[in-house]
Amino acid sequence: MRAASLQFYDAVADVGLLAGMGPIGKDTTAARLLLFLGGQRVALFTGERTPPDGLVVEPLRFEMSGGGMELTFSGPILHLDDGTTYLDLEAAFAASALGDIEVKIRFTRSGVDANGAEFGRVEGWVDLGGERRDIGAGGYANAGVARAGRRGAYAMLAADFGDGNGILADIVDGAVRRVVEFSASGPREMRAQAVRLPESAVSEFQLTLADAATLRARPVSRMEILRSLADGGYARVTFGTARFDWGERQGCGLYEYAAMVRGGADADH
């Protein structure tokens, strides 16, 4: 396997994690580890390795097994008190501090959908230089995300409701591309009747499913960046943690949302 990803949000520990590794070109592997650490505080590692050597870009490693994967990290990472500062990379780097952390997370798969997205249990710990937070939650591996469509808009919702239950959804150009419910009986494709995307980076998502239950995502913390598009425009991309409601159920998880902007300067307005 040349690529892997893992994501979860443990609301008790107040730790969210987005990690990925894969090829960029023929001879280079790129990696990213993003941690949400409460409030708007984030920690970010990015790196590359040439030539590739498995799923390793030191100090980030993925190790695959028959039932899941293990993610480890031990080394320096950039800490920033407000992840929205990344809209201006120079300002974000200037405001960041470098500090060592250790991460050890084991993902045990419980279900796989038709597109290869995996849902399961994550357990382990994050050590922030002596402040250790134990992790135990539902998470997703190799879930992917639907990238920008014609209007540069997309969203991903990845929710965990406990007891082996979760929902994964992709929205492209305002239309639902995929909704999958994971449970003990296996993954189940669901239909959506309507979707309402947020009016701002801090307002809620709403997804009305075919059974008339509404999935709501209420953002908790976030990181924002500008991503250039093939047509020369930009998308304002927000990654974050969220609280989820689905009928009477309550859960937590992660979201990714991109909205088109006319240009880099417009992203600040």
The amino acid occupying position 97 is: A
Q: Are residues 59 and 182 in the same domain?
A: no
DSSP for residue 14: T
Whether 149 is in a domain gets the answer: no
20 and 134 both lie in a single domain: yes
Decide if 134 is inside a domain. yes
Residue 33, strand partner residues: 19, 45
Does the residue 147 lie in any domain?
no
Do 165 and 96 fall within a single domain?
Answer: no
* Torsion sign, CA atoms 262, 265, 267, 269: negative
- Peptide bond connecting 51 to the previous residue in cis, omega within 30 degrees of 0: yes
How would residue 192 be classed by pLDDT, with cut points 50, 70 and 90? Answer: confident
* DSSP label of 247: T
Is residue 124 located within the same domain as residue 243? Answer: no
* Residue 49, Cβ density class (10 Å: 0-12 exposed, 13-18 middle, ≥19 buried): middle
Q: Which residues contact 160 (CB under 8 A, 6 or more apart)?
A: 8, 9, 137, 138, 139, 166, 251, 252, 253
Q: Looking at the structure, tell me whether residues 14 and 109 fall in a common domain.
A: yes
**C-alpha angle with apex 248: 242 to 251, nearest 5 degrees?**
25
Q: Which domain holds residue 124?
A: 4-141
CB burial string 58-70: b at 16+ within 10 A, e below: ebbbbeeeeebbb
DSSP assigned state of 81: S
Name the domain boundary from 113, 141, 169.
141
**Structural domain count of the chain:** 2
Of 141, 176, 205, which residue is a domain's last?
141
For residue 266, the model assigns a pLDDT of 44
Q: Do residues 137 and 29 share a domain? A: yes
How do residues 212-264 score in pLDDT, each as one tens digit? 688 999 999 999 998 877 777 788 899 999 999 998 899 999 999 888 776 54
pLDDT digits (tens, 9 = 90+) for 82-119: 999 999 999 999 999 999 999 999 999 999 998 899 99
Mean pLDDT, all residues of the chain = 89
189 and 250 belong to one structural domain: yes
